[in-house]
Amino acid sequence: MIFPLSYMLFFFTLILGSIISISSPSWFGAWIGLELNMMSFIPLITLKMNSYFSEAALKYFLIQALGSALLIASGFISISSLFFSSFFIFLALLLKLASAPFHFWFPQIMEGLAWPQAFLLSTIQKLAPMILLSYLMINNILVKMTMFSAILSALIGAFGGLNIMYLRKIMAFSSINHLSWMLIAISAGDIFWILYFLIYSLILLSVMSMFHKLQTFTLSNLMQSDQNSIFHATLISLNLLSLSGLPPFTGFIPKWILIQIMVNLNLFLPLFFLLFSTLITLYFYLRIVIPFILLLNPIMNFNMKYKSFTSISPSLMIKTSFNFIGMFLPIYLLLI
């Protein structure tokens, strides 16, 4: 079990906090839900007495406390100016989402987490702030600011991941880049971002499950892992290509639909930056994949351990199989 049974209460209150935020009729109720969510996540980070986990928990608490303080301050400002109140709520939500230009804390905290906690931080912890952000999209100025933040997130997520050897930091910058696509969908006023979020979460689950099983945190560890095999190498490569949004994998489908939406809305400038950043992110995914492809050569695979296919867990196969649904989409379209 990834989390001990005694910690299931914290996991339950983590989900409950997100639900309270989403369904709250007031911003005060949303703040209570976000606080409950934050205070439930901190014990899940510090499962073991480890200085890295403690440091990550402290950093996460300070950043989220700053976001919550901004959210509460907006309540006092709403008495004199409703726009500035919405603006401060907007900034607080961007900070909680780790969207540019408030992305600085996200890679550092990811570096101090284990893989299950890193998955929670990249997915469930972003759900409530994104839905709250979508409530603010009735103001044209905030819509334009969201688009600007999305473009900035795309570029920072792309360039930040270059020349990094740590897998958790690569996944952090990848998450910032994927967040930019979701922010564009939110600013376009389209409910489609929820589909993008679900597909991204499932792909990320398959990638991080592989890394957690192999217990690897750097590129060199990944290549030299004792548990590594040709089959693991192939699965990791295909999962990462799906995460990059390369056709015909599942990761390409939400990007394809969002490109169509952006073209219909004449959002050509943001689309250019998003596609440009996606090409750069593909480069740092290929930095992980290419050594695996080289090691598939029998002459080069001095590092690989030959194992039977029975060593692959069924749950890992189910998580990974989601990445190949996109391959069957052309057949489905032909049948229509």
* For residue 309, pLDDT beyond 70: no
Please compute, for residue 89, the number of CA atoms within 13 A of its CA located in the half-sphere on the CB side.
Answer: 28
pLDDT tens figures, 220-231? 888 776 556 777
Chain mean pLDDT for the chain: 86
**Cα–Cα separations (whole angstroms), residue 214 to 2, 117, 309, 317:** 14, 16, 16, 15
Residue 117: Cβ-neighbour burial (10 angstroms; 0-12, 13-18, 19+): buried
pLDDT band at residue 307 under the 50/70/90 scheme: very low
Computed from CA positions of residues 24, 27, 28, 33, in that sequence, does the dihedral angle turn out positive or negative? Answer: positive
Instruction: Determine the pLDDT at residue 332.
Output: 54
- pTM given for the model: 0.91
pLDDT tens per residue, range 20-45: 999 999 899 999 999 999 999 999 99
- With both helix axes pointing from N to C terminus, report the angle between 268-295 and 167-187 in degrees, rounded to the nearest 10: 150
